Amino acid sequence: MPRRAKTHAACGQGRRRTSHRAPLGLALAALLLLLPSQGLALAKRTGANAPGGKAPEVVDVGIWPTIVYNLDVGANSYYVAAYIWFAWSASLDADPSETFEFTNNVESWGLSKRKTYPEPILLPDGRRYQCLRIEGRFFHPFSLSRFPLERHRLLLSLEDNTYPSTDLVYRFDRTQSGLDPSLEVPGWEIYDWKTEVSERRLGSSLGDTSLGGDVLSFSHVDFEIDVERPAKFFYWKMLLPASIVMLATWMGLLLHPEEQAARAAMVGTALLSAVFLQQSYTASLPETNRLVLMDRIYVVVYALLVVSLVHVVLQGMRTRRGSDHDRSVRGDRISVATQATIFLGAVWWLIRTAT
């Protein structure tokens, strides 16, 4: 008998011998199918990342900024000097202080990393520890829609550039991290700091075909310093000059109606002053595709200045036609009171609704 025929015959005999055990065989097969899926679910819940069920190594990260300087709103950048430390299990063969990177660092050639210890030291709890003092320039896009009452986030974003999150994850050391008591940001007020630990997916394997087409993901830490521009900067350096321009305009409207040349000159000078004042602060801002808060305030200023100029011209025409003097004076006062109310109300509303 040919070999294939013998094999089929043997299989047929085996099926005949075990036909009475079919229900038990089906139950065992179903159990074997369920076990892998339940094992996979358990692995996901416990953080297992390898066929052997090994969980990723946990590395404690702490950050202590000491200096922030050269905050450039136009360039969306700032310089930070800080202490950063890592503590990890002795079972981890790698040194996380060697494999981390800042994802928002610019001018990498200027980034300095100075270790506290030549080699990681052993802590009393058995973990290894290394501390570094870093200093460099960092980038984060700033929103200027509320200028000059804006708030900004100064970020230090770091992650491991070698080991994916299936092998190594960060845990932030909140008890020892924070801001140095002497930390100041010239021209700004610090009102808060916070952190976030997340997993950043690259969306690509970066050409590493050994991953089987899978995308890479790395443990990521964001340390955020929240700063805001002092309100006195807005009131004394921005709003006060615009208010003086409007006050000069209203004073011109209160001159005698027959002083048309002086009235028109005061309104025209105020209009030119408003243009120069706006250009003085826009020169320090980057190009934006929307109006900032101060721009919207100046839109109100320009509108009222145009109304004042039209009012002066119309009053001059009425005066030349010999209109009632008392009526002209009363119209000037009503115009001033109305414009002042509109200006104050519009500024208040724009500040309250600015986003």
Domain limit, last residue, from 197, 229, 261: 229
- Higher-confidence residue of 291 and 12: namely 291
Nearest to 129 by CA among 60, 220, 222, 55: 60
Residue 36: predicted pLDDT: 40
Domain limit, last residue, from 168, 197, 229: 229
Whether residues 341 and 204 share a domain: the answer is: no
Whether residues 187 and 290 share a domain: the answer is: no
Task: Give yes or no for residue 26 having a pLDDT over 50.
Answer: no
Nearest to 77 by CA among 107, 102, 114: 107
Q: pTM for the whole thing?
A: 0.75
10 within some domain: no
DSSP string, 302-326: HHHHHHHHHHHHHHHHHHHTT--HH
Report the CATH number at residue 273: 1.20.58.390
Domain limit, last residue, from 173, 196, 229: 229
Tokens of 351: 């500040």
Whether residues 151 and 240 share a domain: the answer is: no
**Whole-angstrom Cα distance, residue 177 to residue 189?**
20
Sign of CA dihedral 182, 187, 190, 191: positive
Provide CB contacts within 8 A for 329, sequence distance 6+: 257
Q: Are 57 and 169 in contact (CB under 8 A)?
A: yes
Whether residues 345 and 258 share a domain: the answer is: yes
Peptide bond before residue 36 is cis, with ω within 30 degrees of 0:
no
187 within some domain: yes
Tokens of 148: 């000059």
Sign of CA dihedral 23, 29, 35, 40: negative
Report the CATH number at residue 127: 2.70.170.10
Q: Which domain holds residue 102?
A: 59-229
Q: Are 266 and 305 in contact (CB under 8 A)?
A: no
C-alpha distances in Å from residue 243, one per residue of 79, 236, 267, 281, 350: 36, 10, 14, 16, 15
CB count in 10 Å sphere of residue 205: 14
224 within some domain: yes
Q: pLDDT averaged over the chain? A: 84
Whether residues 279 and 334 share a domain: the answer is: yes
| Per-residue pLDDT reduced to its tens digit, 174-203 | 999 999 999 999 999 999 999 999 998 877
| Per-residue pLDDT reduced to its tens digit, 115-140 | 999 999 999 999 999 999 999 999 99
Whether residues 239 and 225 share a domain: the answer is: no
**Angle at Cα 22 formed by Cα 21 and Cα 28, nearest 5°?**
95
Question: How many domains, the chain?
Answer: 2
Tokens of 261: 């040349």
Residue 202: predicted pLDDT: 76
| Per-residue pLDDT reduced to its tens digit, 304-335 | 999 999 999 988 888 877 777 778 889 999 99
Whether residues 66 and 194 share a domain: the answer is: yes
H helical segments located in the chain: 3-18, 22-46, 96-99, 231-232, 240-253, 260-282, 293-320, 325-353
**Whole-angstrom Cα distance, residue 173 to residue 85?**
9
Calculate mean pLDDT across residues 16-30.
40
Nearest to 88 by CA among 56, 48, 133, 134: 56
**Whole-angstrom Cα distance, residue 340 to residue 300?**
11
**Whole-angstrom Cα distance, residue 152 to residue 190?**
10
Q: Please count the residues of the chain.
A: 355
Given the structure tokens 């005949």, which residue do they identify? 16
**Whole-angstrom Cα distance, residue 13 to residue 50?**
42
35 within some domain: no
Whether residues 84 and 202 share a domain: the answer is: yes
Given the structure tokens 């896009």, which residue do they identify? 141
Provide CB contacts within 8 A for 232, sequence distance 6+: none
**Whole-angstrom Cα distance, residue 81 to residue 133?**
7
Provide CB contacts within 8 A for 321, sequence distance 6+: none
Amino acid at 73: V
| Per-residue pLDDT reduced to its tens digit, 240-250 | 999 999 999 99
Residue 260: predicted pLDDT: 86
Tokens of 260: 């048309």
47 within some domain: no
